[in-house]
């Protein structure tokens, strides 16, 4: 899968966990998801679960930096790192 | 003057840190240009050394009761040893891949075992050791302050981000020159670097945001003083002679709990809500000073307290009330548990992670708060003062877990069409949060009442 396809899948997932009062329409890769109010900090857990399930990422081996889950771009970087290694 | 003009004027004053003209003016000032990130870090580094030395002398004066012989030699002995310990941990962080596998997998546990080893050393060092006993005691007393900050350094190493960093990149937050509590305000190197202003423009904005927080801190201090005088009618308040006769005279909840005063049920409830407001003002004022100073040094980090009394859920309040304490518990207890255990059982997974952070981590953190008593080996004393907190941490963890489940269920759905306009609904949610935190604070009030005395007090609020 290309980065663009991963991106589309990710956006689809983020829409499924978006805040009720803040619908995700267009989101820039570098836009902070929490600070812009698109998702809340609790959603980071669901992003972790999503990455574990969809990409078999084992966060147990490495400490999570919640900062790495703050934008679409940084989440895609994690996916890319795992899928290419 | 219309309402809109008034609102705009208020906004212009309260949001002065976002004023483009002001930021443009400030960024051209010589001091802002001269204070590059490197220079700012240098100031913080030397400030940390100085602040560390002063803190040791101050701590020494606090524990005279525990030792028969004190010596002026102890702080000069303890300071290099403490610095050496932090440097050793820094070397471990920068050479993380070379550490034994068990330490790499659980660096926080290894760090705390190391901490307890030093505490045991303080216990077994005989009094006859003179200045050395005093020095080792002083080190043991200082460690709870450093251990959580060093934890962030090792966390950075575990994430593969510490290699190549300099000692000065860590010392300034491990031993910040302005002190603070055991909670690392601004977390560690990763977050601070991420928020660090790199250009004069960004630095000017950070300085303005810092000034705003320092002003707010003074305002909250004043509000707290007024609140103490007008609500609690504190006779020691400097405003008592001026405003004392207008005070409501609601007693502090700890006095009602200990039976010092007898009041109606309504007054008891009012006292509990008043405690919540007072505590929030207190934490906001103190946190704004620490974060304001960090911002003055170019680290434009999140506030420690951000409008918690407007939170609509328990988990939201916890996130806004003492952000850096919550972050520490999340990063050092919640996430490590969440990614390791019960991965196939989502509810149990979340329950375990929440209890690891809000119950276990919270209790352990407060256990280490009794640093002088720990260093003296008087653990039973800590237990006596801390056991009621078991109730607080248990109810907090349970509340957060339930709140997280509720939030999770709501997410992804569209908001009801009238959600934005439903002010009464919002007020009910806020009142629910206030009530929850006011009630669990019963187990956090200072005083000799036991865990079960407080359970009795809780039921008495409902006439039981």
| Helix (H/G/I), strand (E/B), else coil: B146 | helix
- Residues B118, B240 within the same domain: no
What pLDDT sits at residue B18?
83
Contact B78, B142 (CB under 8 A): yes
Q: Measured between CA atoms, how close is B9 to chain A, in angstroms?
A: 25
CB-CB neighbours of B9 under 10 Å: 11
Q: Are residues B249 and B393 in the same domain?
A: yes
Q: Give the C-alpha separation, A80 to B43, whole Å.
A: 39
Whether residue B345 sits in one domain with residue B311: yes
Do B232 and B161 have their domain in common? Answer: no
Does B149 fall in a domain?
yes
Under 8 Å between Cβ of A64 and B339: yes
Euclidean distance between CA atoms B211 and B196, whole angstroms: 16
CA distance B102 to chain A (A): 12
Radius of gyration, alpha carbons of chain A: 12
The number of folded domains in chain B is 2
pLDDT-based confidence at residue B135 (cuts at 50, 70, 90):
confident
Q: Which two tokens stand for residue B378?
A: 């008087």
Domain that holds residue B206: 201-460
Q: Identify the residue whose tokens are 């043991």.
A: B140
In a domain, B409, yes or no: yes
Residues B165-218: tens digit of each pLDDT: 999 999 999 988 888 889 999 999 999 998 999 999 999 999 999 999 999 999
Does B119 lie in the same domain as B82? yes
pLDDT value of position B309: 96
On chain A, the residues whose CB falls within 8 A of the CB of B158 are 62-63
On whether residue B6 sits in a domain, the answer given is no
Chain A residue nearest residue B192, CA to CA: A67
Q: CA-to-CA distance for A33 and A44, rounded, in angstroms? A: 10
pLDDT for B54 equals 83
**First CA to last CA distance, chain B:** 54
Residue B3 is assigned to a structural domain of this protein:
no
What integer is the mean pLDDT of A46-73?
Answer: 81
pLDDT digits (tens, 9 = 90+) for B332-369: 999 999 989 998 898 999 999 999 999 999 999 999 98
- Same domain, residue pair B426 and B374: yes
The number of distinct structural domains making up chain A is: 1
CA distance A6 to chain B (A): 20
Contacts of A23 in chain B (CB under 8 A): 414
Domain limits for position A62: 3-84
Q: Please classify residue B235 by burial: count the beta carbons closer than 10 Å to its beta carbon, then call 0-12 exposed, 13-18 middle and 19+ buried.
A: exposed
Contacts of A59 in chain B (CB under 8 A): 335, 339
What pLDDT sits at residue B233?
Answer: 81
């Amino acid at each position: 899968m290309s980065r663009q396809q991963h991106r589309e899948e990710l956006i689809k997932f983020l829409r499924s966990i978006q805040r009720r009062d803040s619908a995700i329409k267009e989101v820039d890769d570098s836009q902070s998801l929490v600070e812009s109010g698109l998702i809340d900090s609790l959603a980071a857990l669901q992003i972790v679960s999503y990455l574990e399930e969809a990409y078999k990422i084992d966060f147990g081996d490495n400490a999570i930096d919640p900062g790495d889950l703050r934008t679409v771009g940084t989440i895609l970087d994690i996916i890319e790192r795992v899928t290419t290694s | 003057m219309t309402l809109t003009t008034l609102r705009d004027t208020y906004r212009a004053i309260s949001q002065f840190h976002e004023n483009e003209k002001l930021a443009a003016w400030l960024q051209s000032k010589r001091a802002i240009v001269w204070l590059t990130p490197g220079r700012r870090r240098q100031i913080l580094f030397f400030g940390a050394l100085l602040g560390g030395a002063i803190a040791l002398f101050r701590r020494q004066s606090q524990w005279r009761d525990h030792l028969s012989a004190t010596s002026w030699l102890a702080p000069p002995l303890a300071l290099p040893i403490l610095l050496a310990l932090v440097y050793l941990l820094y070397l471990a962080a920068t050479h993380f891949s070379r550490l034994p596998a068990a330490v790499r997998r659980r660096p926080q546990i290894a760090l705390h075992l190391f901490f307890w080893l030093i505490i045991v050393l303080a216990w077994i060092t005989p009094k006859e050791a003179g200045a050395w006993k005093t020095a080792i005691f002083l080190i043991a007393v200082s460690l709870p302050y450093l251990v959580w900050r060093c934890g962030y350094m090792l966390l950075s190493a575990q994430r593969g981000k510490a290699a190549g960093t300099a000692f000065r990149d860590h010392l300034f937050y491990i031993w910040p020159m302005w002190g603070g509590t055991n909670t690392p305000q601004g977390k560690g190197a990763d977050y601070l670097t991420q928020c660090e202003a790199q250009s004069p423009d960004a630095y000017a904005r950070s300085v303005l945001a810092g000034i705003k927080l320092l002003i707010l801190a003074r305002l909250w201090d004043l509000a707290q003083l007024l609140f103490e005088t007008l609500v609690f009618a504190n006779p020691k308040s400097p405003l008592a002679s001026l405003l004392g006769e207008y005070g409501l005279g609601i007693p502090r909840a700890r006095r009602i709990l200990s039976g010092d005063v007898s009041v109606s049920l309504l007054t008891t409830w009012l006292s509990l809500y008043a405690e919540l407001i007072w505590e929030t003002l207190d934490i906001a004022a103190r946190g704004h000073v620490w974060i304001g100073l960090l911002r003055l040094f170019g680290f434009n980090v999140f506030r420690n307290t951000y409008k918690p009394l407007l939170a609509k859920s328990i988990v939201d309040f916890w996130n806004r009330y003492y952000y850096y304490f919550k972050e520490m518990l999340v990063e050092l207890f919640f996430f490590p548990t969440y990614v390791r255990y019960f991965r196939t059982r989502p509810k149990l997974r979340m329950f375990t992670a929440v209890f690891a952070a809000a119950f276990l981590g919270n209790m352990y953190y407060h256990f280490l708060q009794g640093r002088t008593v720990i260093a003296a080996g008087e653990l039973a004393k800590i237990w006596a003062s801390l056991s009621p907190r078991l109730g607080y941490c248990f109810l907090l963890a349970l509340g957060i877990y339930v709140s997280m489940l509720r939030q999770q269920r709501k997410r992804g759905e569209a908001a009801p069409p009238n959600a934005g306009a439903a002010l009464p609904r919002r007020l009910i949610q806020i009142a629910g949060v206030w009530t929850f935190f006011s009630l669990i604070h019963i187990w956090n009030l200072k005083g000799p009442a036991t865990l079960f005395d407080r359970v009795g007090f809780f039921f008495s609020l409902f006439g039981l």
